[in-house]
Amino acid sequence: MYSINTRQLIITKKLRTKVHNQTKNTENNRKMHQTILEELLKLNDDPRVHGVYLHLPPAALTNRVLNSLKPEKDVDGLLKDLLKCFCFCTGFQQLTEHRYIFLHRAVGSLVLSSLHSLFSFIVRQNVVRSCTRWLQEQQYKPWRLRSLKLQPLTPVPSDLQISRAQTAKPVNHLAEEIGLLPEELEVYGRSKAKVRLSLLERLNSQPDGKYVLVAGVTPTPLGEGKSTVTIGLVQALSAHLNLNSFACLRQPSQGPTFGIKAANNLVAAAIDARMLHEATQSDKALFSRLVPSVNGVRRFSPIQISRLRRLGIIKSDPSSLSPEEVNSFVRLDLDPEKITWHRVVDTNDRFLRKITIGQASTEKGLTRETGFDIAVASEIMAILALADSMEDMKSRLGRMVVGTSRSGTPVTAEDLGVSGALAVLMKDAIKPTLMQTLEGTPVFVHAGPFANIAHGNSSVLADKLALKLVGEDGFVVTEAGFGADIGMEKFFNIKCRASGLRPNAVVLVATIRALKMHGGGPSVSAGAPLPTEYISENLNLVSGGCQSNLKKQIQNAQQFGVPVVVAINVFRTDTPAEIDLVCQLAKECGAFDAVPCHHWMQGGRGAVELAQAVKEATSKPSYFQFLYDLQMPIVEKIRTIAKRIYGADDIDVSAEAQRKIDYYHEQGYSTLPICMAKTHLSLSHLPERKGAPTGFVLPIRDVRASVGAGFIYPLVGTMSTMPGLPTRACFYDIDIDPITEEISGLF
């Protein structure tokens, strides 16, 4: 009936054996106690052990033993019952260890055996009771969230000041409030914790909560506040409407990125080292090094067996390979001109955009041109965000294509022999990081793939964990990068396909500023003061923006069958007439609802209206459908996105792009979804064309593939994967007080 019993019994048996072996030598009771104590403490601390059911020789049952086992692991309560009965029978109320042993020797097994029938009854009852208790503990727990109060100030202070004025709950308190078990948490410092994926197994039968995507209109270069709306919305839901909710955000790049860089650069180092070794060694020398004789025995490692299988060689004895088979096994024969894998670094280091490596004499003239990207642009980051288990991540890492051989075969990370090591380097990164909003509501921060050459969404695993945790009536609010034409389209066609999750609503963030820009306002650029159109009422421009960009982005969401709530991220300079106009026009354009949000100033209280609209929208049935079928030819998939989402008349595929498309088709990659690398500043490929441009043909300059992440990415323009540093970088202002450790100079 209770599957847990098997595990308990194994452990019990192990313990009994150990103790039994010790007690044969009855001379040293202390030694026996020590052994038992050690074992109990291990069992206490072992998260895989859910309960301990002890059968021990009577002499082993001292007070210290009794007090060592954690109450929550004490499956049968036998020890305490036994001692109680014993005390009752012997008249002793307080037993010290010494007294107990003395007593045991004096009274011996007589008393114990007379109590035997009573014990066996208690034991049976307790086993049933404790298994029931364990099963209950594993069930979904209703939240007991204690929200933190905000005291909004006017004028609104800096982010840094606001954040400092609030004291976060210890993360283990937060975890307990939202029903996480202690063994599912790996605390990192006071306010962050990694959450183990075993949660998905425990809450497997628990229905998911509502799944809400926050997307946006086409933004100005200043950004329109999708992340703040995401946070405001969950604060409103959890702290003001008492509905369970979780925000899932992407991780900023200079953060606790764990193994990503090391994993990415291990692949790069392995590529170049392998080319060197192949260039300087014979087949025989390579083979004897790759499959060395250890104590006279040569053996393939599992990863080498995988490579042999891919080569069609079904052998496992190294000595049985023919010279041709050895040749194809030892030579990846990478074409230095066709290596697509870049190194990464977590700093804006523009001088690494294009470099020549291998110039030291030790590298024997094997120089080649390559480059570094910023860490988040790594395919490994996209994999981290799309994987839905450790196993899935591992196989995606193995499938990553790093280049092609001289004969045109794709060479993968598994061919290089690094895929297991990559998974090891990523084993902590795969667990989402639990943090909290200013109002003490839970947030997962996890992964941060680029939104152009990758899909720009927070991780599948964070969303999945959160959907279980919030429960059936709760909400998970997740964010997609850039405008809805990019982030939302990729969320639906790439991320939802990978995860199998279905969204219940889209929140489309708009600002009066962005709408005015789309309505024909002057250009907006970072650093320059805003033109007056943007800081005084102009209903004309607002209306123009609503009728063009906002309307098109609403329709884009509707093509997927999902209801849209427009959230106006209100600025101080916005007028009531402007806000009312957007609400009215958005609804006319097909939005389920449209509401102003004041979370920037008021926290969750300022987004209560949005929360109510979202609650209402998700209570309606949604009819989600993908935009295209994966079986369509690559070109047709690209054309579908260009025409239906961007409003293009057609696409124009360059010769280079067509060559790549044919190659990917040949290699069997044509059923992958499409991840468009297009500017986020326009629905078209031309950043200066605002509103909802029409009458343009989208050029497809080049096409690349992230086979491990699982998408093909057409390049519409030039995408920078390594930012630069300005003349006066922000580091000039950043400092730390050596005594208080307070950091200054952040925003």
With CB under 8 A as the contact rule, the residue among 84, 149, 284, 310 that binds its own copies is: 149
Dmax (CA) of the chain = 101
Site for its own copies in 352-381 (CB under 8 A): 352-360, 362-363, 366, 369, 371
User: Minimum Å distance from CB 423 to its own copies?
Assistant: 5
Residue 16 is a binding residue for its own copies (CB under 8 A): no
Write out the two tokens for 616: 């209402």
Looking up tokens 């899935």 gives 392
Q: Phi first, then psi: what are they for 401, rounded to 5°? A: -95, 125
Set 73, 169, 196, 261: catalytic member: 261
SS3 (DSSP) at 53: coil
The distance of closest approach from Cβ of residue 361 to its own copies in the complex, given in angstroms and rounded to an integer, is: 8
- Residue closer to its own copies by CB (options 165, 577) is 165
Q: Which of 239, 268, 451, 498 is catalytic?
A: 451
The secondary structure element, H or E, covering residue 117 is helix 116-138
Decide if 133 is catalytic: no
For residues 509 and 112, what is the distance between their CA atoms, to the nearest angstrom? Answer: 73
Binding-residue pattern over the window 391 to 410 for its own copies, x denoting contact by CB under 8 A: x--x----------------
The answer to whether residues 711 and 672 touch, using CB atoms and an 8 Å cutoff, is yes
CA atoms of 451 and 176, how far apart (whole Å): 34
**Whole-number Å distance between alpha carbons of 137 and 252:** 35
The CA distance from 576 to 584, in Å, is: 12
600 is catalytic: yes
DSSP string over 644-667: III--SEEEE-HHHHHHHHHHHHT
Binding mask 217-256 for its own copies (x = CB under 8 A): -------------------------------------x--
Residue 102 annotated among the catalytic residues of the structure: no
User: How far is the first Cα of the chain from the last one, in angstroms, to the nearest whole number?
Assistant: 58
For residue 250, indicate whether it is catalytic: yes
Q: Is 403 left (phi over 0), alpha (psi -120 to 50) or beta?
A: left
> Of the two residues 111 and 197, which places its CB atom closer to its own copies in the complex?
197
Residues 718-737 that bind its own copies (CB under 8 A): 724-729, 731-736
What are residue 566's DSSP bridge partners? 508, 594
Q: Considering only residues 522, 668, 717, 745, which one is a binding residue for its own copies as defined by CB under 8 A?
A: 745
Q: What is d(CA 371, CA 394) in angstroms, rounded to the nearest whole number? A: 25
What is the C-alpha to C-alpha distance for residues 118 and 307, in angstroms, rounded to an integer? 63
* Contact by Cβ (8 Å): 465, 211: no
Provide, rounded to whole angstroms, the least separation between the CB of residue 745 and its own copies. 7
Handedness of CA 481, 487, 490, 491 (dihedral sign): positive
CB atoms within 10 A of CB 364: 11
Candidate list 194, 196, 226, 468, residue with the active-site label: 226
- For 62-85, b where at least 16 C-beta lie within 10 A, e where not — what string? beebbebbeeebbbbbbbebbbeb
Residue placing its CB nearer to its own copies in the complex, 261 or 637: 261
Rounded CA-CA distance 744/161 in Å is 10
Is 513 a residue that touches its own copies (CB under 8 A)? no
Which is nearer to its own copies, 18 or 502 (by Cβ)?
A: 18
Q: How far apart are CA 285 and CA 276, in angstroms?
A: 13
- Regarding 345 and contact with its own copies (CB under 8 A), the answer is yes
Encoding tokens for residue 678?
């297009």
Cβ nearer to its own copies, comparing 92 with 188: 188
CB 712 within 8 A of CB 493: no
Smallest gap from residue 477 Cβ to its own copies (A):
25
Q: Give the residue from 526, 644, 517, 507 showing the smallest Cα distance to 586.
A: 507
Minimum distance from residue 657 beta carbon to its own copies (Å): 22
Phi/psi of residue 569, nearest 5 degrees? -80, 100
Query: Catalytic pick from 450, 482, 592, 696?
Result: 482
Which residue in the set 289, 309, 310, 620 belongs to the binding site for its own copies (CB under 8 A)?
A: 289
Q: Which of 604, 560, 568 is nearest to 584 (CA)?
A: 568
Residues between 304 and 323 with contacts to its own copies, criterion CB under 8 A: 304
- Name the helix (H) or strand (E) containing 8: helix 4-23
Task: Please select the residue that binds its own copies; options are 71, 91, 155, 189, rule is CB under 8 A.
Answer: 189
Q: In which residue are the tokens 């034991």 written? A: 123
**Residue whose CB is less far from its own copies, 230 or 459:** 459
350 makes contact with its own copies (CB under 8 A):
yes
Q: Is residue 148 close enough to count as binding its own copies by CB under 8 A?
A: yes
Among 63, 340, 348, 658, binds its own copies (CB under 8 A): 348
Distance in angstroms (rounded) separating the CA atoms of residues 219 and 482: 7
Q: How far is the CB of 287 from its own copies (least distance, A)?
A: 10
The site string for its own copies over 88-127 (x = CB under 8 A, - otherwise) reads: ----------------------------------------
Which one, 189 or 323, has the nearer CB to its own copies? 189
**Shortest distance in whole angstroms from residue 582 CB to its own copies:** 30
Contact 573, 534 (CB under 8 A): yes
User: Which stretch, 38-46, 79-87, 609-617, 707-715, contacts its own copies (CB under 8 A)?
Assistant: 38-46
With contact defined as beta carbons under 8 Å apart, do 709 and 382 qualify?
Answer: yes
Number of residues this chain uses to bind its own copies (CB under 8 A): 92
Q: Which is nearer to its own copies, 298 or 502 (CB)?
A: 298
**Catalytic: 482?**
yes
Radius of gyration (C-alpha) of the chain in whole angstroms: 31
Smallest gap from Cβ 432 to its own copies, in A, equals 15
598-637 residues in contact with its own copies (CB under 8 A) are none
- Residue span binding its own copies (CB under 8 A) among the ranges 257-265, 454-462, 475-483, 644-652: 257-265
Binder of its own copies out of 64, 277, 338, 665 (CB under 8 A): 277
- Residue 514: which of 218, 258, 737 has the closest Cα? 218
122-130, 387-395, 513-521, 596-604 -> range binding its own copies (CB under 8 A)? 387-395
Q: Which of 2, 88, 102, 351 binds its own copies (CB under 8 A)?
A: 351
Q: Is 262 in the site for its own copies (CB under 8 A)?
A: yes
Residue 312 CA, chain-centre distance (Å), reads 36
Q: Which of 420, 531, 590, 687 binds its own copies (CB under 8 A)?
A: 420
Three-state DSSP at 569 gives: strand
Which residue among 92, 119, 134, 571 is the active-site one? 571
Cis peptide before 155 (omega within 30 of 0): yes
| Catalytic residue status for 571 | yes
**Is the Cβ of residue 630 or residue 730 nearer to its own copies in the bound state?**
730
Interface segment toward its own copies; rule CB under 8 A; list 289-297, 568-576, 583-591, 687-695: 289-297
Known catalytic residues? Answer: 226, 228, 250, 261, 451, 482, 571, 600
